[in-house]
Amino acid sequence: MESLHTTDVIVVGSGISGLMTAICLYPRKVTLISKKKLGEASSSAWAQGGIAAAVGKDDSPKIHFEDTIKASSGLSDEKIVKIITEEAASIIKFLEEKGVNFDKDHLKNFLMSQEAAHSRRRVLKVNGDSSGREIIKTLINNIQKLENITILEDVTVDEIIAENNKVIGLIGRHVGKNIVDNFTFFKAPNVVLATGGLGSIYEHTTNPRDIYGEGIAMAARAGAVLSDMEFVQFHPTGMDVGLDPTPLLTEALRGDGAKLVDENDNQFMKSIHPSADLAPRDIVARELQRLKDLGH
């Protein structure tokens, strides 16, 4: 059976990006589509480290910008980096207004950690290493109070529909126990894909195992031009305990003094980069792979 659902904006994905987009579109009529229950369908809930924002007295958006460009070897889009680094502090304020309780000391100052490629402590956390999960929980609480947002859970999107090079909606279906495929045409002049990355196409990942880049593929089939697809970032450190996905070891550990050592207790990153264990992730990841290939 096919049905029709009409709205102003469709947001596909219920991670932090999708939830924030839906909230910020108020009071427009929004349909938020999640392939699982809210809070269960994204990598965001797995994020441990926190959010980087130049809110410290010894920090500034300019320094944050310079750190980011340097970490990307100059390959980042400077216009986008400028927007992100300049607006980061206002996003922290927005999240606080929505109820996110960032970790603070007894004087109400943010407790910030330092992570790779950052020259300052600027990573704000929520409940220690539960940042992603706690932020998701708070955003869901906000969304459930907004009457302009229709939440559709357990819906898989199969295809974006376009006419004359213009998106007009998408085809989705409800999935779950005792449900025969029930296709719906979701009609809207605006579609936002917040469907995450593609970590699960690799043999080893710290992402949830159902993150395959479906949104990217749908966009390509609909005629979107993809760029920079080769830039997939690998988190350097995980816990080798035979689990799949691999449990992440947050970068904040190294920011607070943990060292990367080989089987001989040699701090090998010292000879690789001036920042040693806090070198940019791509540099640390490549060195770890090189050592592994050598049999370490």
Q: Which residues are catalytic?
A: 281
* Pairing outcome for strands 2-6 and 182-187: parallel
Cβ–Cβ < 8 Å for 112, 122: yes
In DSSP terms, 146 is beta-bridged to: none
Spatial separation of the C-alpha atoms in residues 135 and 52, rounded to whole Å:
14
Q: In the chain, where do the E strands start and end?
A: 2-6, 9-12, 30-33, 51-52, 112-113, 123-124, 149-152, 155-163, 166-174, 182-187, 190-193
Cα dihedral: 166, 169, 171, 172 (round 10): 140
Question: Which residue shows structure tokens 């213009």?
Answer: 166
CB neighbours of 157 closer than 8 A, spacing ≥ 6? Answer: 12, 33, 35, 170, 171, 172, 214, 215, 218
Nearest to 172 by CA among 154, 152, 157: 157
Residue tagged 């970490």 (tokens): 71
User: Amino acid identity, residue 22?
Assistant: A
Scored b (16 or more CB within 10 A) or e, 48-85 reads: bbbbbbbbeeebbbebbbebbbebbeeebeeeebbebb
Sole residue written with tokens 């603070």: 104
Question: Which tokens sit at 266?
Answer: 């040699």
